[in-house]
Structure formats: structure tokens, C-alpha cells
Structure 1
């Protein structure tokens, strides 16, 4: 029981830290997602924007799709899932964001679990 109590306390501290990060984060970030693997399976994943100058967001998983916004470096975003798309610098993995837009996965550092594939059958282009 003592061990379980320590886990619960640790989870509360991590949850508080996550909320604090959301409050202190960039004003243009998409709302944060889940904080555990269980929540991720039913909701959204979280990631921090690590692109040097901001991450372009597009209407699809390729540089051929139109840019419809930008995520500021350091912001926390909600990721719905990952998809295969255009290969960019050796990586064809893209993230579909909660709002339906896309960004290249290397622009985002996962916070917690790695996002699942969007569809049961994914393909790379």
C-alpha cells in the first residue's frame, strides 16, 4: 500500500506540472492532450514544438499541401495520431493534430506516450 501511495503522489505531482506547463506555455499552442497511456488511447497525445523557428502546419502530410499556420517553438500541442506521408530528410512520419491539420513529426517532441497510427492500415507515400 505504501508503494501505491507513492505512485499516486507522483502522478499528482506530474499532473500538476503538466497543468502548470499548459498555463505558462505559448499563447498559440493547441490545447494539451492526455497525460497517461490510458487517456491517450481514448483522447489525444501531447508534444512540444521543437522546430528551430516554428513548425508549419499543413492541410495534409506533405510539403505539397498548403501551409495554414505555424506552431511556435516551445508550445505544447495536442496530437491525434501519426500518419505516413512525404519523406522529408529521411523521415516520412507526420502528426495529425487535434484540429485536423498536419505537421512533420520531427517538429514535435513527444510528452508521454508516442502517438498511435491514425488508421489500422497506414501507408507511406
Structure 2
């Protein structure tokens, strides 16, 4: 997977920026519970945590037949852009479009939204 290091580096930068904004934003209460703010629950940004036991492969589209472009580790927090119904993975056909430096897709079977889940994607799956 040739894009692995760029993907992880982007995720780390976004996670660091989110922590910094929470600490310097409107106080410790926001950093401790970002879902309590209206922006986090009504319009995003939506976040999800990787719950796969091993690395979660991210792909160019919502199915395992799409090209793998990287992976995420158990416990990583990512930005969820929107959701679609795609290939069924162990009883779950939902896939999330991720934004971690670039767009990628991951099965919802291995991601848990932190707070509200994002809305449905439009007609286009890729960007």
C-alpha cells in the first residue's frame, strides 16, 4: 500500500489540530465533550473510531473490490464525511466516506461513530 505513510501522517495532523483547537477553543468542557456543541451534533464534523481488531483497510470505493489505499489502526479516530450502502461486510452494508488528507472509504462494520453519524452521500461516491 503505497499511500500508507501519507494517509497516517494526514490523520495525525488532523487529530493534533482537533486537540489543539479543543484546548485553545472555548475551554476544557469543549475539549472533554465535543459532541455537546451544536456544530458537532447538527452539522459535523463527524468522527468515528476504528474498532477493527487488526488494521482496517481503506479503499477507493465502498466495497472490497475497490483498490486499497491505506489502513487505519485499532482505536484511531477519523473524520466521517457521509455514508452509503455498499458491499455487505459481515452483515453490515454501510460504508463511510472518510476525509483524512484525502477521500477514502471504510466499512462501517469496523467503525463506530463518536456522537451523531453523518448523513447520506449524494449521487457521486468519489472525489
Greater than 2 Å deviation, 4+ residue runs: 11-15, 34-44
SS of corresponding position for 1:95: strand
Is residue 66 of structure 2 the alignment partner of residue 65 of structure 1?
A: yes
Please name the residue that 1:31 is paired with.
none
Structure 1: 5+ residue stretches without partners: 1-10, 19-33
Kindly provide the CA deviation profile for residues 26-60 of structure 1, in whole angstroms up to 9, marking residues without a partner as x: xxxxxxxx744534554431011110002110000
How far residue 112 of structure 1 moved from its aligned partner, in angstroms, is 0.8
Mapped partners of 1:14, 1:87: distance in 2: 39
CA RMSD, Structure 1 to Structure 2 (Å): 2.5
Equivalent in the alignment of 1:114: 117
Question: Would the alpha carbon gap of residues 43 and 65 (structure 1) be closer, same or farther in structure 2, given more than 3 Å must change?
Answer: same
Structure 1 residues 1-125: aligned runs within 5 Å: 13-17=28-32, 35=35, 36=37, 38-39=39-40, 41-98=42-99, 99-119=102-122
How far apart in 2 are the matches of 1:73 and 1:80?
20
Does the aligned pair in 2 maintain the 1:37–1:113 contact within 8 Å? no
Kindly tell me: are residues 17 and 39 of structure 1, through their superposed partners in 2, closer, same or farther at Cα, counting changes over 3 Å? Answer: closer
Aligned to 2:18: none
Contact 2:59 2:67 in 1 (8 A): yes
User: What is the TM-score of this pair, normalised by structure 1?
Assistant: 0.66
Q: Report the TM-score, using the length of structure 2 for normalisation.
A: 0.65
